Structure 1
């Protein structure tokens, strides 16, 4: 144990590589250690992270605001609605950027910590992430070569640690901490509670002390209840087309939930897909979140809010009987290992051939890959939930995607605020065109087709979306 964070990070010198754990905009960043590193002023850092977090708060963005980062390796370099200091520096050429899928990042860290040189992964094939990398085929399927990662330092946050370095995480807050710790030469842990060696039962240790170099007490915390939130249209409000209301965001989630069979394991992506959680209710549908939750429940009320219980979209959630927690490596083993019946993702565009484009749009510096590439590569089915047209009235369902691809030819079902379209599952052959199966009440088939930018078949008869969940 060390007396202060300043002492613990004193040997992080200019040019060092640092893995910084934490999830989303605000969840369990090592704010004490980040603040100390910002105060020290070390420059030229290579930073590995899921994302830099919420600007203006003690997250990784503090280091960007201090111009301490030279190279950023991340899953989220940009989010809609605001241009961060990091984006400005990347755009100006002051900071270089490498975008990496979330599951690939933790697997590269896991490999580095395990003494491996590289891995082959199905994630990223068919996207610009795979450009220039070695592609090999195993059993007829393409895999991308990714180099393992090791770092000089890792900064992580824990609920409890002992003087031997054994660490306990709480709830869904293991995420990146474990793989980042194992990949680092020096792992520094800030802990909410530091106890004597032996006070933590052996079976409760989430990270053994052999992977931990230093432990310090937490002195800097984030008030997650009062963080600013990006302005979204309320889930209960409906967008209008041709002067008529379409489905609300809640209703899109409700229709998507009705597509899920009992006993299926389903991942919900960030954004609109999280609405599905409230419509699963007491059905035997198991929800999976890539930050490390399985079989969680609907949204938490203010009274139920627990900072260590959140989904991958940052929504605070409840537990159900049988809920389990784990780190992100295990989470992506579930995803890539074929154990997901479906992943439900938000997207910018879907192509007529099932191409998915959901991580970057014009004007973004990099973008937000998150876990989408891993999830699309591993799930048995890919569903997308989105609004039928963008804010300028342009179709999001297009003949050919103009935005960078997440994965080609992967989408099986599209649920918009105007329509449900499906095509036969991939199954090793060309599944053909999407079929318009349902439309929102109050609209005609011709009206929906007029706002659809891809060629589709039309079912006979076409159903009504609102009637499908009655």
Structure 2
């Protein structure tokens, strides 16, 4: 059984206008089937539905299909990002674009449900947010669940490191992420690989996705150069009331000091990713939803392996005993309550412990990612953020002005000015940054605070 196509153009030649196409890939740069995507773009199809985790940023990523006006619908976990990596999908498209935002973990479950023959399933993810508006809700065991439907793809375009001629695939490192899920949700699966081998050259234990899920394989014409998103925060502290707060590095170091030994911890994108740089010698195992457990410090690109990166798509080291897997398994670890703590960034946190971190009116879309999945059973939920906006507005507010990510779920807020814990009394100020007093923190915080500082031995 030989499933090898001559080239990318031949591999996608039967895709028609109106098709539902899933394009795997993680973050803004990693693991996209770039030659297959470019070949689809070159066919000048119309009225496509594009399903992806994110649009990417380069001409050979899904964003190019949207920019060309070839898509009428987008189903994704990221349709826009804070800071505008590529811009909001609706603003980039020259034609009307219907956008459906889906949490990462639910995206993979809806795809996997196709292969499992499941008609629909109930999920606890996002049940208290606007993204599940209009969906059926039911209570099981005292918890509310939302009905989700399978996500059927006509075609899936995915990337793997190696394949044999029968379509057996071998991924490497964190490059597996969404590939298996997209393949299992599609009628036709087309795979772009770096290396093509003969049947029998992949040992059975090396096969990560059996060839029965694969229809066509094409070898890349050119080896892709490693790409990195390296978002290093400035060492400069923000100034409040004429005094400097903690730097981003000091904020991350403080959070690292609050993590208990023997814990499993997920670090979100942005400020939280910096925490990994302050855990050397600690018994803290880091988890990322792109499919890695046991990663270490962030690395400079010249020291990095292109197949090992964190949830922020930044290069990382691996600790002894680390494991890699696909995103489905990563979210199983999270939603089953295996994590000790989750550290996320936020635009706002309110006095009840609700928080918003996925969209603002200025974004023109949303960046849900895996945050809502991580809130199902997060262990201790820690928010890492600047205490105020650059213009001076408090980020700890009476009520969130943005659509919330989760309701009454925050346990601890660590900012460049304070450590604030939520308990039965409300928001409790536990610690002030050096040079600041409780009255200063209260002045810079809209929500009321109870002052009960930790006693330092």
CA-CA distance at 1:304 after TM superposition: 2.1
Contact in 2 for aligned 1:292/1:326 (Cα 8 Å) = yes
2:38 corresponds to which residue?
35
Q: Let me know the Cα RMSD of the aligned residues.
A: 1.6
* Matching residue within 63, 80, 85 for 2:65: 63
2:439 corresponds to which residue?
446
Distance in 1, matches of 2:118 and 2:261, equals 40
Distance in 2, matches of 1:210 and 1:403, equals 45
SS at match of 1:252: helix
Distance in 2, matches of 1:221 and 1:326, equals 24
Distance in 1, matches of 2:203 and 2:186, equals 25
1:422 corresponds to which residue?
421
1:380 corresponds to which residue?
379
2:47 corresponds to which residue?
44
Distance in 2, matches of 1:225 and 1:217, equals 19
CA-CA distance at 1:224 after TM superposition: 4.0
CA-CA distance at 1:57 after TM superposition: 3.2
1:124-162 per-residue CA deviation (whole Å, 9 max, x = no partner) reads 011001211111111101111111111000000000000
SS at match of 1:76: coil
1:411-437 per-residue CA deviation (whole Å, 9 max, x = no partner) reads 00000000000124xxxxxx4401100
2:140 corresponds to which residue?
138
Contact in 1 for aligned 2:5/2:216 (Cα 8 Å) = yes
- Taking structure 1 as the reference length, the TM-score comes to 0.93
Distance in 2, matches of 1:184 and 1:128, equals 28
CA-CA distance at 1:219 after TM superposition: 2.5
SS at match of 1:190: strand
Matches within 5 A, 1:108-147: 108-147=110-149
SS at match of 2:77: strand
2:20 corresponds to which residue?
17
2:182 corresponds to which residue?
180
Distance in 1, matches of 2:454 and 2:261, equals 26
Query: 5+ unaligned residues in a row in structure 2: which ranges?
Result: none
CA-CA distance at 1:109 after TM superposition: 0.6
Pair 1:460–1:51, CA change in 2 (3 A): closer
2:195 corresponds to which residue?
193
Contact in 2 for aligned 1:156/1:181 (Cα 8 Å) = yes
Distance in 1, matches of 2:325 and 2:228, equals 27
1:247 corresponds to which residue?
246
CA-CA distance at 1:93 after TM superposition: 6.3
CA-CA distance at 1:303 after TM superposition: 3.5
Contact in 1 for aligned 2:128/2:407 (Cα 8 Å) = yes
SS at match of 2:175: coil
SS at match of 1:51: coil
Query: Does residue 459 of structure 1 match 2:452?
Result: yes
Number of aligned residue pairs:
453
Contact in 2 for aligned 1:5/1:36 (Cα 8 Å) = yes
SS at match of 1:303: helix
Distance in 2, matches of 1:160 and 1:7, equals 20
1:360-385 per-residue CA deviation (whole Å, 9 max, x = no partner) reads 01222221000000001221121100
Pair 1:120–1:320, CA change in 2 (3 A): same
SS at match of 1:377: coil
Contact in 2 for aligned 1:156/1:190 (Cα 8 Å) = yes
2:108 corresponds to which residue?
106
CA-CA distance at 1:221 after TM superposition: 5.5
1:357 corresponds to which residue?
356
- Taking structure 2 as the reference length, the TM-score comes to 0.96
Distance in 2, matches of 1:458 and 1:11, equals 66
Distance in 1, matches of 2:223 and 2:144, equals 44
Contact in 2 for aligned 1:31/1:220 (Cα 8 Å) = no
Contact in 1 for aligned 2:228/2:314 (Cα 8 Å) = no
1:389-424 per-residue CA deviation (whole Å, 9 max, x = no partner) reads 012110000111110010101100000000000124
Pair 1:462–1:358, CA change in 2 (3 A): farther
Contact in 2 for aligned 1:65/1:85 (Cα 8 Å) = no
Distance in 1, matches of 2:328 and 2:228, equals 30
Distance in 2, matches of 1:98 and 1:89, equals 16
Pair 1:448–1:217, CA change in 2 (3 A): same
Distance in 1, matches of 2:222 and 2:138, equals 46
Contact in 2 for aligned 1:252/1:417 (Cα 8 Å) = yes
Distance in 2, matches of 1:261 and 1:401, equals 30
Distance in 2, matches of 1:275 and 1:43, equals 42
Pair 1:405–1:277, CA change in 2 (3 A): same
Query: 5+ unaligned residues in a row in structure 1: which ranges?
Result: 425-430
Pair 1:367–1:444, CA change in 2 (3 A): same
SS at match of 2:311: coil
